[in-house]
Amino acid sequence: MRLSVALAFAIAAAAVVVAAPGAARAYPQFQFSTDNERCGNCHLAPMGGGLLNDFGRGESADTISGRGDGAFLHGAWEPPGWLLLGADLRGVLGGKQLDGQDPELLAFPMQADLYARVNAGPVSLAITAGLRGAARERAAGPTPTEYVVSREHYVMYQRQDDAPYVRLGRFYPVFGVRTQDHTAYPRRHLGFYLLEEPYALGGGVVRATWEAHASAFVGNPVPFTGAGPRARGATAYYERRLAGNTRALAGQARFAMTDEDRRYTAGAVGKQWLAGPKLMLLGELDLQLQSFTAAGGGADARLQMVGHASVTRMMLPGWMIGAALQRWAPDLTLRGSTRNAFEVNVQAFPWAHVELHLLLRAEATGGDTFAPNLLSLLQLHYYL
């Protein structure tokens, strides 16, 4: 019976892979709140996100959901030690109300990603593949390459968990709170939105009380497998964990350039776990100078700001309830250009491999808080 259920889930996963991909990232709320000082304790990638290791799969069942078998295929089959497999599948029901427009019902597959990682000693090859979906415009023509995409594929060298690592390929450089929500302002407005992964050479060190990462990147050279401005540049991120690994402060910087503009970004990230009330606090603030080079040789520039702050009540196993405030100012000298959002998140983990996520968001543009845009999404997330 156990095998038949697992095979049924696998068949369902293969069927749903015709869906649109989201972006699988880490859940930063689990850092500190699950007694894990760093995301790499549970994930194979040193900065979190993507495939879980054996410990992370155990945590997903015992600590987060409280029941079930977190192993691949629910423990029905164990791949050989050199091969790791997984999948992330998300479907969405919801609605949105834009100012001056009729309400719109939403129902679509959000994510269908398959993961594979092959290990050969200290060298590993990681691949994420799924369907491109309709979140970004496709070029004309129904060819398979217009639908199938590999958002991440890279080779990494690391002798052991606490040793320095280096990786080369397509991936997001380490930056920001690294939330799984691709619509969060730090991701949406700073070059970490859907299908904007560049090709990069990166490296770093992750230790118990600190971590440091740096990457140099270039834009995706194949336009139909990506989206957004294909920038080239570099990032740096340093995080220090304090107060017995219940608090973290980080500084970060990013430079990105295209043929049209240059972006210089500097910011800070803060994390605080309050064990008594079981509250996880996350915050990020970034300032960005965007300069445009005019055709006549002149230049124009504007100062931008991204802010994100959230508080989550951790009721593990089983529940997370949180609220977040976000602000995006594309030009600090123009008050009417800002976006402000307030959202509520309710996440349930009824058993291993399954998550239900209700997101409610009100977003005001141009400072108009009396006629906000409204969004509600109910996501069903299943991972192998």
Residues 232-275: tens digit of each pLDDT: 999 999 999 999 999 999 999 999 999 999 999 999 999 999 99
Q: Token digits for 7?
A: 């095979």
The 3-state secondary structure of 113-175, one letter per residue? EEEEEEEECCEEEEEEEEECCCCCCCCCCCCHHHCEEEEEEEEEEECCCCCCEEEEEECCCCC
Q: 208: buried, middle or exposed (CB in 10 Å: 19+, 13-18, 0-12)?
A: exposed
- The predicted pLDDT at position 9 comes to 37
Q: 87, 384 in Cβ contact below 8 A?
A: yes
Residue 133 has pLDDT above 70, yes or no: no
Contact between 135 and 20 under an 8 Å Cβ cutoff? The reply is: yes
> What pLDDT is recorded for position 143?
62
Residue 70 · residue 354 · CB < 8 Å: no
CATH superfamily, with its number, for domain 2-383: Porin (2.40.160.10)
pLDDT at position 226 is 83
Report the candidate in 102, 106, 89 with the shortest Cα–Cα distance to residue 11: 89
Nearest residue to 114 (alpha-carbon basis) of 145, 150, 78: 150
Instruction: Identify the pLDDT of residue 227.
Output: 84
What is the average pLDDT across 214-218? 98
Which of the two residues, 184 and 148, has the higher pLDDT score? 184
pLDDT of res. 147: 74
Per mean pLDDT, which range of 22-36, 45-59, 306-320, 351-365 is the poorest? Answer: 22-36
**pLDDT for the residue numbered 294:** 63
pLDDT at 137 over 70: no
Supply the pLDDT for residue 310.
98
pLDDT at 134 over 90: no
Instruction: Report percent pLDDT > 70 for the chain.
Output: 88
Where do the structural domains in the chain lie, given as residue ranges?
Answer: 2-383
pLDDT of residue 148: 82
pLDDT in tens, 5-35: 343 433 333 333 333 444 445 799 999 999 9
Mean pLDDT of the chain: 88
Half-sphere exposure of 145 (CA within 13 A, CB side): 7
The residue that leads in pLDDT, 178 or 125, is 125
pLDDT exceeds cutoff 60 at 214: yes
Burial 185-202, CB ≥16 within 10 A → b, else e: bbbbbbbbbbbbbbbbbb
Q: pTM of the predicted model, to two decimals? A: 0.89
pLDDT > 90? residue 162 = no
- 378 contacts: CB under 8 Å, gap ≥ 6: 92, 93, 94, 356, 357, 358, 359
CA distance 76 to 72: 8
pLDDT of amino acid 224: 76
Question: What's the pLDDT tens digit per position in 138-154?
Answer: 556 556 666 788 999 99
φ, ψ at 259 (rounded to 5°): -70, -15
pLDDT at 77 over 90: yes
Smallest Cα–Cα separation from 346: which of 337, 335, 355, 334? Answer: 355
Check if the beta carbon of residue 92 is closer than 8 Å to that of residue 107.
yes
Instruction: Label residue 39 by pLDDT band (50, 70, 90).
Output: confident
| pLDDT tens-digit map of 326-360 | 999 999 998 888 999 999 999 999 999 999 999 99
